[in-house]
Amino acid sequence: MVFKESTNSPGYETIPNTINELPVSSTRKRRVFPFSAVIGQEEMKLALLLNVIDPRIGGVMIMGDRGTGKSTTIRALADLLPDIEVVSGDPYNSSPNDPDLQSSEVREKVEDGGNIETEGKQVPMVDLPLGATEDRLCGTIDIEKALSEGVRAFEPGLLAKANRGLLYVDEVNLLDDHLVDVLLDSAASGWNTVEREGISVRHPARFVLIGSGNPEEGELRPQLLDRFGMSVEVRTVRDAELRVQVVDQRTAFDNDPESFATSSQSDQDALQKKVIDAQQRLQSVSIDNELRLKISSICGELDVDGLRGDIVTNRAARALAAFEGRTDVSEDDIARVISCSLRHRLRKDPLEQIDSGDRVIKVFCKIFERNEDADLTEFELSMKR
């Protein structure tokens, strides 16, 4: 990962529609390295932004070497986003106007015509530690209080805190299988249900699932890998000058975080506004039927199981067009997102030497009748300058 001081570049339900109604926030309670000050690892950064623009893409799996800035960039993403409007005092970050993002208590109060107090809150960023228990993840019911006082006492877990936000799992390939199953259920349904001793609690749990890991430390279960909408790879920077720049930037931030953040604030605000504009534009972005047919032809040619690959590619291409200020998806948009959307869904052949990403590009060139010797930069998921 590389950092820079300045650039001139300028929900789903989960992060969303409500944040567009709130003003851009210039102050943050926590100080993290500014997202706009990160350069390099373009594929990772843009994949994260596309999932914020359209959380229904399904999250991002980030695999790569240790020390390449995966965690730094992911945590910086939450700091970049504008505040969301939540019901005051609600542990589930309930939306004041979307029933699908409300706890049962809030929904009942709204239906009864009660007054709902709201407040602005930073988009939640929840880290799932590897040693977490299922009760810590899902929440637990206080049986003693339920029996003694006759009330349902539920202690919300990490899934509740992540509602309408980001759930980050570092070293996801080392996560216990039973926690993986819980994550899959919540990511698929958008709800978390806890049942203990005849007591049942159900609450919304819609979040952008972000995972990172080092492939040398273990493979991911195929069913978990398929749940991630996009997959990106990060590599260690080899250029000596860029490595020195990383060190200098990190040192400057560690020595004076406030001044460093202030120097990047204009870029943060510009990128934040660009994301909000893209969210608002997304519904008006269209994709030609011929392009959709070609996307499905690629998935069929690659023998991709299920239809999730088709759906994710369509959504990612639309989000990319919205991010770049356009209302029509182009062939180039598909070229830039298709590798990240499909390569982790391909069946692995231990005897095949070709990289899965290269297989996707090869089939893309066949379906779209492009020269296979085309410039590979056309297939990179990076921001246009």
Interval 272-309: pLDDT, tens: 999 999 999 999 999 999 999 999 999 999 999 889 99
Query: HSE (CB half, 13 Å, CA atoms) of 186?
Result: 31
- From the list 382, 282, 268, 381, the residue with the least C-alpha distance to 325 is 282
pLDDT value, residue 360: 92
Contacts of 160 (CB under 8 A, 6+ apart): 91, 92, 139, 192, 203, 205
Residue ranges covered by each domain of the chain: 2-234, 285-379
Q: Are 103 and 116 in contact (CB under 8 A)?
A: no
Nearest alpha carbon to residue 333 among 278, 384, 367: 384
CA dihedral 59, 268, 64, 338 (to 10 degrees): 50
Fold match between 2-234 and 285-379?
A: no
Given 164, 308, 336, 343, which residue is catalytic?
Answer: 308
97: phi then psi, degrees, rounded to nearest 5: -135, 5
How confident is the model at residue 14, as a pLDDT? 42
Q: How far apart are CA 273 and CA 89, in angstroms?
A: 28
pLDDT at 23: 43
Tokens 């369509």 label which residue? 314
Give me the pLDDT at residue 1, please: 47
Question: What whole-number distance in Å separates Cα of residue 94 and Cα of residue 110?
Answer: 12
Residues 199 and 146 sit within 8 Å (Cβ to Cβ):
yes
What is the CATH superfamily name and number for domain 285-379?
Magnesium chelatase subunit I, C-Terminal domain (1.10.8.80)
Distance CA 14, CA 180 (A): 20
Would you state the pLDDT for residue 30? 55
Concerning whether 281 is annotated as a catalytic residue, the answer is no
End-to-end CA distance of the chain: 19
- Name residues of the chain where pLDDT drops below 50: 1-28, 351, 353
The whole-angstrom separation of Cα 194 and Cα 137 is 10
Nearest to 38 by CA among 11, 5, 63: 5
CATH class of 2-234: alpha beta
φ and ψ of 111, to 5 deg: -65, -30
Burial class of residue 100, CB neighbours in 10 A (0-12, 13-18, 19+): exposed
Sign of the alpha-carbon torsion through 175, 179, 185, 190: negative
Report pTM.
0.84
Handedness of CA 106, 110, 113, 118 (dihedral sign): positive
